[in-house]
Amino acid sequence: MKTPRKASATSAARIAGQISGRLPGLTGEQARKLAGIARQHSYAAGKAIFKCGDEGKEIYMLLKGRIALKARFGTHVDLVTFSTVSPMELFGWSSLTDKPIKTACADVVEDAQVLAFQAKELLALCDADPTLGYVVMRALFHTVSQRLIATRHWVLDLLT
């Protein structure tokens, strides 16, 4: 993993555009606020971004690459991939809960570039600007619902 870096003014504008594309309904100023707290990370294929049970401090937006979400289910000892993350999707949302413990592992399948948002900073922005918070929470609700659908399909496949 490369050292995270805060965005330069030029890349901050690009990042704000990427965020706006993923979170429709944001104003330009709101997207710039989010870009201001974003940190860019690069990960090579085969690396873990976080592991099951890790303390959740960040939530992520995948810019490029592919991430496998894995967990242990029931008596299975091995980690099982239950969903994948594609570009512009959010992951690591458990960091925003009251008990921020990662419930899945995030393993890089294809070299990845992500934006990481410190959960506390993101929640503070959402509290300070309820409209921004509403847009972020709608996107997170979509992400959680997609993960539940993927998990349900995975379980149904196991049963058939």
The number of folded domains in the chain is: 1
Which pLDDT value is given to residue 151? Answer: 78
Amino acid 62: pLDDT: 95
Residue 120 is part of which domain span?
A: 5-159
Q: How confident is the model at residue 13 (pLDDT cuts 50, 70, 90)?
A: confident
Res 125 pLDDT > 60: yes
Q: What CATH number is associated with residue 95?
A: 2.60.120.10
Q: pTM for this structure?
A: 0.84
pLDDT digits (tens, 9 = 90+) for 51-75: 999 999 999 999 999 999 998 777 6
Percentage with pLDDT > 90 across the chain: 53
Residue pair 93/83 in contact (Cβ under 8 Å)? The answer is: no
The pLDDT-based confidence of 1 (bands split at 50, 70, 90) is very low
DSSP classification of residue 96? G
Per-residue pLDDT tens over the stretch 144-155: 888 888 878 877
Classified as helix, coil or strand, 101 is strand
* Residue 88 amino acid letter: M
**Rounded CA gap, 28 and 18, in Å?**
11
Mean pLDDT of 127-152: 90
Contact 104, 70 (CB under 8 A): yes
For the CA atoms of 151, 80, 91, 7, the dihedral, rounded to the nearest 10 degrees, stands at -160
